[in-house]
């Protein structure tokens, strides 16, 4: 299979139709007509054999979807102009250029997974880097390109099939303290160091960005430099996500209940000195992953009250100190004389949290917390999907050579 040819053909498909559609929309409008997704499809069907003969080799859904998307883009634009649409102003739809969200949609009856391969209409069977991780009804798929790699993201309705039978002999409760120095310290004394992928490639990224801004707009070299920057960003995100997946799976798999602090990630990221480190560890990712994996592994996820003094309380005698400086790495209790690592002390307090008097017992209501949890990593939203109704979307890279 000649994958290089394939990917250039797919790119051609992905750009040609939306651009033809937009030009046609403008033309219909100038001629006093009322363009719509439907009128575009009709006009397209009349000329496709002559102007787009290759369309017969590409997935039909991809063609139709281009016009549906354009119709939606115009609807958003008009609603925004009429102030019927909340949020950021939506501009007039633009012509697509190479590199702008290349991709196409495939309906669920037109593709299938078989182990590490996916069969797509017309394109045929391509290898993937991983198998479809979720069982259930496939709702839809979208093939897209990012940093010169092709991906397929699949929306799966999982129902209850997602739930894994818990292992026997699981630890009953584990407290997790999240921090910048050591990403996670558990109440059992285990430490998980984050790979901090951004920190690792910060210099490389700065250099790639400098080169990019020196290149002339619209030049081939600028395109190459942009790909390089995009590749670095994609790598950072992948490393971070991979690590967060491994840690959260292990934690949920091994424990009947897990207690974490209710971190105000959005508030913390506003602190510029800490923002980069916090995003780099991926606190938002960890929280979001825990939320859906706890359901999968039947683990109770307990979020401690934001005011619970997990750091200031002595895990041996329960005395709460008035103050604790960030620089104090060891918690030394003046009351009972015990002393231990600050983060371990906090984790031990979190382990006890559900048994403490007061309000400190409520298991998390995922729905009320999701808005806070995915702020530092907005990109994750697409991956976790709306877990409250048992839908999961995964993104799996496709090998193209």
Residues that bind Zn ion in the complex, under the rule CB under 5 A? 314, 316-317, 319, 333, 335-336
Question: Torsion over CA of 21, 24, 29 and 34, rounded to 10 degrees?
Answer: -60
Q: Which of 13, 343, 351, 377 is catalytic?
A: 343
177 is an active site residue: yes
What's the min distance (Å) between Cβ of 340 and Zn ion?
Answer: 10
Nearer to Zn ion, 275 or 332 (CB): 332
50 is an active site residue: no
Nearer to Zn ion, 47 or 336 (CB): 336
Nearer to Zn ion, 333 or 364 (CB): 333
Q: Which of 13, 69, 102, 261 is catalytic?
A: 261
User: Tokens in use for 248?
Assistant: 């959260």
CA 77 to chain centre: 26
Nearest to 71 by CA among 98, 94, 40, 47: 40
What's the min distance (Å) between Cβ of 316 and Zn ion?
Answer: 4
User: Tokens in use for 309?
Assistant: 């003094």
261 is an active site residue: yes
Nearer to Zn ion, 339 or 362 (CB): 339
Strands, sheet with 117-120, edge to edge from the N-terminal-most edge strand: 112-114, 117-120, 124-127
Long-range contacts formed by 244-250: CB under 8 A, 24+ apart: 244/282, 244/285, 244/286, 244/289, 245/289, 247/183, 247/184, 247/192, 247/286, 248/286, 248/289, 248/290, 248/293, 249/293
∠ at Cα 63 (61, 68), nearest 5°? 85
What's the min distance (Å) between Cβ of 349 and Zn ion?
Answer: 11
Nearer to Zn ion, 72 or 335 (CB): 335
What's the min distance (Å) between Cβ of 310 and Zn ion?
Answer: 14
What's the min distance (Å) between Cβ of 352 and Zn ion?
Answer: 13
Question: Torsion over CA of 335, 341, 342 and 346, rounded to 10 degrees?
Answer: -90
Question: Torsion over CA of 266, 268, 272 and 276, rounded to 10 degrees?
Answer: -80
What's the min distance (Å) between Cβ of 334 and Zn ion?
Answer: 8
Spatial distance between the Cα atoms of 381 and 370, rounded to a whole number of angstroms: 9
Spatial distance between the Cα atoms of 234 and 146, rounded to a whole number of angstroms: 8
Q: Which of 177, 291, 351, 372 is catalytic?
A: 177
Spatial distance between the Cα atoms of 41 and 20, rounded to a whole number of angstroms: 11
Nearer to Zn ion, 63 or 315 (CB): 315
**Which positions are catalytic?**
177, 261, 343
């Amino acid at each position: 299979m000649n994958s290089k040819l394939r990917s250039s053909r797919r790119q051609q498909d992905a750009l040609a139709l939306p651009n033809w559609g937009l030009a046609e929309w403008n033309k219909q409008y100038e001629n006093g007509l009322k363009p719509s997704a439907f009128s575009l499809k009709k006009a397209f069907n009349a000329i496709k054999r002559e102007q787009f003969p290759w369309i017969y080799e590409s997935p039909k859904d991809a063609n139709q979807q281009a016009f549906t998307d354009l119709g939606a883009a115009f609807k958003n634009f008009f609603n925004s102009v009429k102030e019927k649409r909340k949020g950021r102003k939506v501009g007039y739809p633009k012509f697509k250029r190479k590199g702008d969200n290349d991709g196409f949609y495939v309906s669920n009856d037109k593709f299938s997974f078989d182990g590490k391969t996916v069969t797509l209409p017309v394109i045929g069977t391509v290898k993937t880097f991983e198998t479809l991780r979720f069982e259930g009804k496939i709702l839809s798929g979208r093939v897209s390109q990012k940093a010169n790699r092709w991906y397929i993201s699949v929306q799966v309705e999982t129902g209850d099939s997602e739930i894994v039978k818990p292992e026997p002999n699981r630890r009953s409760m584990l407290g997790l303290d999240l921090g910048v120095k050591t990403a996670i310290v558990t109440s059992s004394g285990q430490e998980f160091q984050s790979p901090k992928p951004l920190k690792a490639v910060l210099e490389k990224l700065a250099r790639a960005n400098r080169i990019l801004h020196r290149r002339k707009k619209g030049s081939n070299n600028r395109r190459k430099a942009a790909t390089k920057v995009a590749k670095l960003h994609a790598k950072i995100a992948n490393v971070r996500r991979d690590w967060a997946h491994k840690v959260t799976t292990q934690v949920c798999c091994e424990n009947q209940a897990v207690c974490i602090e209710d971190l105000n990630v959005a508030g913390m990221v506003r602190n510029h000195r800490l923002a980069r480190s916090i995003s780099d560890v991926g606190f938002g990712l960890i929280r979001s992953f825990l939320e859906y994996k706890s359901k999968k592994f039947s683990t109770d996820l307990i979020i401690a009250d934001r005011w619970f003094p997990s750091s200031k309380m002595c895990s041996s005698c329960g005395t709460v100190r008035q103050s604790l400086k960030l620089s104090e790495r060891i918690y030394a209790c003046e009351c009972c004389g015990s002393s231990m690592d600050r983060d371990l002390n906090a984790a031990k307090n979190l382990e006890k949290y559900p048994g403490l008097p007061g309000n400190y017992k409520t298991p998390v209501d995922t729905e009320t917390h999701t808005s806070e949890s995915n702020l530092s990593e907005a990109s994750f939203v697409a991956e976790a999907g709306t877990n409250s109704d048992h839908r999961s979307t995964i993104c799996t890279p496709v090998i193209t050579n």
